[in-house]
Each structure stands twice: as structure tokens, then as C-alpha cells.
Chains A and B, each alone.
Chain A
């Protein structure tokens, strides 16, 4: 077996020597890595800061456009509100007119209308008189067959000296 022996006493390293050794062999890597990160962030920040500034300016301009357009938006909202109300009213009007036109269009000429009540909810109550009961029956059956009203009722039908008196109640007109 062969040994290489160093018989000199090892040189004792001072703290400064150790510090220099550490700085040269270890700390430089730490500093390089840190610098790479910091410089990378620095340049990236340049780029992103510019984008943020541009976006802020753009948003401010757009906010001003929106503020300037506020009267226009209010006008449009008022018109929209008005159109909505008018649409609802026209729809009610058309529904009422359609109901009454349907009834009047099918009302037999030979039946005399005594009285008629029509309310906003579309309920129609009327009474009439006819000399022939078949006319009333055909009219009633037609209303049921055509099924334009959800409910067709005839609560009264009685014979009188002048003819047959009847009362009908219709509701729920379907357009």
C-alpha cells in the first residue's frame, strides 16, 4: 500500500479567507441569478408599464365618450320606455277590438241584442232575445265550436211571450 503523506501542518484559514472563498465560489452564482431576475423584471416592467399606461388612457377616453353620450342614452331609455308602454297598450287595444269584432261579426241578425257589458279583462256578458230558440242554440254552438273564448256560458234561457230571452258570458278571448 502506498500513501502520499503531507507532513506540513495545514495552513489555518482566517475568516476573511473563508469569506473571499465563499464570495468567489458561491456568492457570485447567487448574485448572477438575482441580477438576471432583476434585470429581466426591469425590462419586462418597461414593456408592461407602457401597456398599462396606454390602456388607462384608452379607458379614460372611452369613459369620457360614455359620459358625453349620457343624454343620448337617457333619450334612448325614455324612447324605449315609451315604446314598451305603447306596445302594451296597443296589444290591449287590439285584443279588446278583436274580441268585440269577433262577437259582433258572428252575432246573428235575427237576435236582438238587449244589453252588453264588456270589461277591460275581456269578460263579455250580454243578453238578447230571439223568436226562434234554434238561432240561440246555433249561435251558442258556434261560439263553443270555434273556441275563440276560453269560457262560453249561457246561464239563462227562458221563454217569454215575445220570444226566448237568453244571457251569455264569454271570457278569455284567444287571438
Chain B
């Protein structure tokens, strides 16, 4: 009897039963891992998906704003675009080039002695976006002022022409005027 009493006293006052607490944490851990964690992970995944889409949306908005801007600029300059095509045509347009040089020679008062167009592929109509050269060698005879005018006029034409090389020497041919110069010029024109 004494033993029973002492056991009860000690049980009631000092010893504790942790079975429920342990079970509580085990069950709660199970719910945490199996139910709460997947739900919270899904929330974070959805948030990151929303942020990603939002960023993409902003990117597309910026692109569209640029497209609208480009469209506005294109509409503004559409009337002047033919100038670009005239200065850098899609095809060689050799006849136009020869006409230009001939007309310039006439206007500036130089004598065009010879004109040689280097090899050119007239069938090549593919444009890779890179400029192709059209090289013209020519020989003219003129005075100093006329030559200056000829060079200036060549530079003012819409079809772009660059002087690649110019060689000026005195014309020693018999009967030529003393002021006459013999000019050998390599001209470069371009097309796309």
C-alpha cells in the first residue's frame, strides 16, 4: 500500500507523459511536409512565373513602342526614301552612271577621252545587304579649273561616286594647249 501511494505521489507531481507532445510534433511535421510545404512551394512558383511573364510583357511593350516609333519615322521619311535608292541603287545601273559622267564632263568643260568599266556581273540581283563596287577607269583632258569643277560636280550628284585614285600629269601631246592636263581617274560607284 505504501508503495502504491508513493508511486502516485511521484507520478502526479514530478513525472510527465510526453507521448502526446511527441505525437503532435510528428503529425505536424507530416502535415508540414506533405500538405503545407507543397502548397507554399506552389505559391512561390506561381509568383516567380508571374514575375517572369511580367518581365516578358514589359520587354514586348518596349519592343512594340520601338516598332511604333520606327513606323512613325518611316512614315515621315517615306517620301525621301527614293533619294537613298538613287544614291545606292539595288542594281548597277551602268547606263545611268555613264550618263552622269558624260553629263558632268560636258557641264564642266572637260574632254572625256576614254572610259573603262571593270568587270561586273549584271545577272547578280541578290542583295546580301552589303555594298558592291563598280569601278570605272577614265581618262580626261582639261584645264585646272575645269578639272576642279568636274571633281566638285561628281561629288554633288545623287548617285554616290568616290574617287579612288587620281593621277594628273601635263599633256605632252603635240598641239595640245599648255594649260591642258591629262587626268587618269579611277572612280568607284556602288550598288547593293
Taking beta carbons and an 8 Å cutoff, which residues of A are in contact with B? 3, 5-6, 18, 21-22, 25-27, 29-30, 33-34, 37-38, 41, 44-45, 48-49, 51-52, 55-56, 58-59, 62-63, 65-66, 69, 72-73, 75-76, 78-79, 81-83, 85-86, 89-90, 92-94, 96-97, 100-101, 104, 112-120, 126
Selected from B9, B71, B84, the residue in CB contact (under 8 A) with A86 is: B84
Q: Which one, B5, B40, B67, contacts A37 given CB within 8 A?
A: B40
Q: Distance in Å from the Cβ of B149 to the closest Cβ of chain A?
A: 11
**Please, how many angstroms separate the alpha-carbon atoms of A34 and B40 in the complex?**
11
In this assembly, does B63 line the interface, its C-beta being within 8 Å of a C-beta of chain A? yes
Q: Which residue of B lies closest to A114 (CB)?
A: B170
Residues B145-186 near A (CB distance < 8 A)? 148, 151-152, 155, 160-170, 181
Verify A76–B70 contact, CB threshold 8 A: yes
Known: A27-B27, A30-B31, A118-B167. 19 other contacts (CB 8 A): A21-B20, A30-B28, A33-B28, A34-B31, A37-B36, A41-B39, A45-B43, A59-B57, A62-B57, A65-B64, A66-B63, A79-B84, A83-B84, A86-B88, A96-B162, A113-B181, A116-B168, A119-B164, A119-B165
The majority secondary structure among interface residues of chain A is: helix
Question: Are the CB atoms of A120 and B164 closer together than 8 Å?
Answer: yes
Contact residues, B20-63 vs A (CB, 8 A): 20, 23-24, 27-28, 31, 35-36, 39-40, 42-43, 46-47, 49-50, 53-54, 56-57, 60-61, 63
Q: Do the beta carbons of A89 and B151 come within 8 Å of each other?
A: no
Residue interface mask B82-98, A partner, CB < 8 A = 1: 00100110000000000
Query: A62 touches which one: B20, B60, B129, B164 (CB < 8 A)?
Result: B60
Instruction: From known contacts A62-B60, A73-B67, infer whether A114 and B43 are also in contact, taking CB-CB under 8 Å.
Output: no
